[in-house]
């Protein structure tokens, strides 16, 4: 099956700074890479995704980059705000295996 | 558009008791998932349905967990008998169907989860 590694497990930044979370995966057949945000007491919510035919995708302050050769993809959040504080999960799917999630990154944005 | 509905939101049971969770996916979503999320970890897939057929249940502890999706819409997940290590959030999710194994490469929409505490 797929193996997804996510780093860091905890990320603390000051409001206005940028935050970067990275995930690596093992199966080159993977072709879909979503990122989810989970706030306390709620289910994960999709915030951005990227497919293997695209190298970068941006949505306002959030961007995702994909390096298929190196088998890693990253979430970039610019101009962080306190409401960005949450747990972020990457996921990988495609090929014949089930969607697999990373272990999560707890992002803390200090006012 | 209504999201994925789950109930109950919270449940506390004693070990060896049974519990059942219910899920109603987004209308039109043929693929339904049950995930287990232990505190501090990412969601782990327990079972995936395509309509009312099981696509993957390789990580479902079948000696105590069971799930069904009658008529290809609502689903129930049952645990009997419960163990202390079953304490977790049980997330139901759904997505549009795809060809092949079903559900891969499509956006998964999660419900709010059912929080289970086994004491």
**Matching residue, tokens 């069904």:** B68
DSSP assignment string, A31-82:
-EEEEEEE-TTS--EEEEEEETT-SEEEETTEEEEEETTTTEEEEEE-S--G
pLDDT digit string, tens, across residues A86-110: 999 999 987 655 678 999 999 999 9
pLDDT digit string, tens, across residues B55-74: 889 999 999 999 999 888 99
| Interchain contact A54–B (C-beta under 8 A) | no
Query: Which of A29, A37, A98, A102 has the highest number of chain B CBs within 10 A, making it the mutation to test binding with B?
Result: A98
Q: Give the residue-averaged pLDDT of B5-19.
A: 97
**Cβ atoms of B69 and B13 closer than 8 Å:** no
What's the confidence (pLDDT) of residue A35? 96
Q: In whole angstroms, give the CA distance from residue A33 to residue A30.
A: 8
| Interchain contact A74–B (C-beta under 8 A) | no
Other beta carbons within 10 Å of B76: 15
Sheet with A5-7, side-by-side order of all strands: A5-7, A19-24, A72-77, A62-67, A56-59
pLDDT digit string, tens, across residues A48-95: 999 887 799 999 999 999 999 999 999 999 999 999 999 999 999 876
Q: Name the DSSP class of B9.
A: S
What's the confidence (pLDDT) of residue A111? 93
What's the confidence (pLDDT) of residue A2? 79
User: Cβ contacts (< 8 Å) between B105 and chain A: which residues?
Assistant: 31-32, 51, 93-94
Inter-chain contact A93–B104, Cβ cutoff 8 Å? yes
**Closest by CA position to B2, among listed B28, B22, B36:** B28
Q: Give the residue-averaged pLDDT of A23-34.
A: 91
């Amino acid at each position: 099956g797929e193996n997804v590694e996510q780093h860091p497990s905890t990320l603390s930044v000051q409001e206005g700074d940028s935050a970067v979370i990275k995930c690596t995966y093992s199966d080159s057949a993977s072709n879909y890479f979503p990122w989810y945000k989970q706030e306390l007491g709620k289910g994960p919510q999709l915030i951005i995704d990227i497919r293997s035919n695209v190298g970068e995708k941006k949505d306002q302050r959030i961007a995702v980059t994909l390096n298929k050769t190196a088998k890693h993809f990253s979430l970039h959040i610019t101009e962080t705000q306190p409401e960005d504080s949450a747990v972020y999960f990457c996921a990988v799917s495609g090929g014949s295996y089930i969607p697999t999630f990373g272990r999560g990154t707890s992002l803390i944005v200090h006012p | 558009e209504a999201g994925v509905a789950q109930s109950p939101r919270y449940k506390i049971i004693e070990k060896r008791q049974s519990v059942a969770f219910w899920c109603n996916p987004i209308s039109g979503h043929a693929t339904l998932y049950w995930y287990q999320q232990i505190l501090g970890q990412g969601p782990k897939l327990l079972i995936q349905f395509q309509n009312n057929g099981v696509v993957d249940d390789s990580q479902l502890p079948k000696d105590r967990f069971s799930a069904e999706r009658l008529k290809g819409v609502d689903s129930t997940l049952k645990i009997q008998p419960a163990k202390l290590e079953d304490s977790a959030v049980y997330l139901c999710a759904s997505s549009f169907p795809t060809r092949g194994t079903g559900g891969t490469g499509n956006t998964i929409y999660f419900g709010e989860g059912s929080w289970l505490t086994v004491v």
